[in-house]
Amino acid sequence: MHLAVSLNIAAADGQDVLDFGQISAFVRNLEAAGVDMVIISDSLTSGEPSTSPFEATTLLAALATVTEKIGLVASASTLAHQPYNLARRFASLDIISHGRVGWNATLRQSPLEAANFSRPAGIPNDDFRRRAEEFIGIVQGLWRGWDADALLFDKAGGRFHDARKMHVLDHKGEFFAVRGPLNIARSPQDMPVLAMSGLAGADLDFAAGVADVIAIEEPSPEGARATCDDLKKRVLTAGRTPDALKVLTTVFAPDLTVARLETWLSAESCDGLIFAFPADLSAINGFTDRIVPELRRRNSDRSAYYADTTLRAHLGLGDGGAK
């Protein structure tokens, strides 16, 4: 059973902003408890004044230097970024973290976000969906830009490779034209983990074909089981093995008691759980005090698990890498 924590770093008006010391102490605590990955949110979620202490990808790079095992996933929307930049930044994070990085692609557009990217009216919904799918295809295509034999040897982490085995993508689509190649060293996972959340019904078939992790929200283990089964069927239809996608159910950590945790852990409603947090130190401290010791007890021997060096490997995902 996989465990993840999703941390909303944007504090609401009047709330104290988390500092790097607090966030890194929390993430190290999660790592010690055997949590597979932490997912950093990074979006405007409402019209209320709110403040992030950090932008998610720069925060992940800093967290990578103070942790060793835990997976590090940053959210980033397809509206706010260029696919070439996003692919390049995550490939760089994958090198800095020694293969522990993932991208959480958020597939909803927010009007407040659009207003910061020269799109005051946003993008019509159908266009937005086709654009997001094209975007994700480009990112994965750029990540696949290295031949499998491009890596010559790994001399004490030097990871020398042959730059001639890097390929142009030469994508020309409806919304983007991206030549490539990525112009960055081959990363340890080849393909950083692709997570998706906040999916609408119309996104599910696409997501089942390309995602490594999908986060769902269901109030009960039974509902989660049904949604999970539906997604796994779509994964098969997309020509992948069911294990190529991990479906994790989001539970909201401030409401969590040890008894409720027990219900969820016993139900095995799918591949695992995501504990979702607001940027609120009291919620974090409560989780650390009450729930983390229970997780640590259950995960007391994670050594074999963590022997896998990359996030992709320790989630039991296929290599997804260079074809």
* Residue-wise DSSP of 286-312: HIIIIIHHHHHHHTS--HHHHHS-SHH
Contact flag: residue 57 with a second copy (CB under 8 A):
yes
Shortest distance, position 189 Cβ to a second copy, whole Å = 15
Shortest distance, position 88 Cβ to a second copy, whole Å = 5
Q: Which amino acid type is present at position 197?
A: S
Q: Determine the size of the site formed for a second copy (CB under 8 A).
A: 62
CB 8 within 8 A of CB 279: yes
Shortest distance, position 89 Cβ to a second copy, whole Å = 5
Q: Which residue has the tokens 């465990």?
A: 3
Of the candidates 181, 317, 164, the residue with the CA atom closest to the CA atom of residue 242: 317
The window from 82-90, 236-244, 288-296, 306-314 that contacts a second copy (CB under 8 A) reads 82-90
Residue set of the binding site? 42
Contact flag: residue 128 with a second copy (CB under 8 A):
no
Q: Pick from 1, 29, 32, 117: which binds a second copy (CB under 8 A)?
A: 117
| Spatial separation of the C-alpha atoms in residues 198 and 215, rounded to whole Å | 7
Nearest to a second copy of 89, 240 (CB atom): 89
CB atoms within 10 A of CB 13: 8
Please state at what angle helix 258-267 crosses helix 221-237, rounded to 10 degrees.
40
Counting Cβ atoms within 10 Å, is residue 189 exposed (0-12), middle (13-18) or buried (19+)?
Answer: buried
Residue set of the binding site for FMN? 42
Task: State which of positions 134-193 bind a second copy (CB under 8 A).
Answer: 157-161, 163-164, 166, 175-180, 183-185
Nearest to a second copy of 58, 300 (CB atom): 58
Shortest distance, position 22 Cβ to a second copy, whole Å = 8
Shortest distance, position 280 Cβ to a second copy, whole Å = 14
| Spatial separation of the C-alpha atoms in residues 170 and 186, rounded to whole Å | 19
CB 101 within 8 A of CB 60: yes
Contact flag: residue 58 with a second copy (CB under 8 A):
yes
**CA geometry: angle 97, 100, 101, nearest 5 deg:** 95
Please state at what angle helix 83-96 crosses helix 125-143, rounded to 10 degrees.
40
Contact flag: residue 239 with a second copy (CB under 8 A):
no
Nearest to a second copy of 34, 180 (CB atom): 180
Shortest distance, position 123 Cβ to a second copy, whole Å = 14
Contact flag: residue 52 with a second copy (CB under 8 A):
yes
| Spatial separation of the C-alpha atoms in residues 313 and 88, rounded to whole Å | 21
Q: What residues line the site for a second copy (CB under 8 A)?
A: 10-11, 13-14, 16-17, 19-21, 44, 49-55, 57-62, 64-66, 80-82, 84-85, 88-89, 91-93, 95-96, 112, 115-120, 157-161, 163-164, 166, 175-180, 183-185
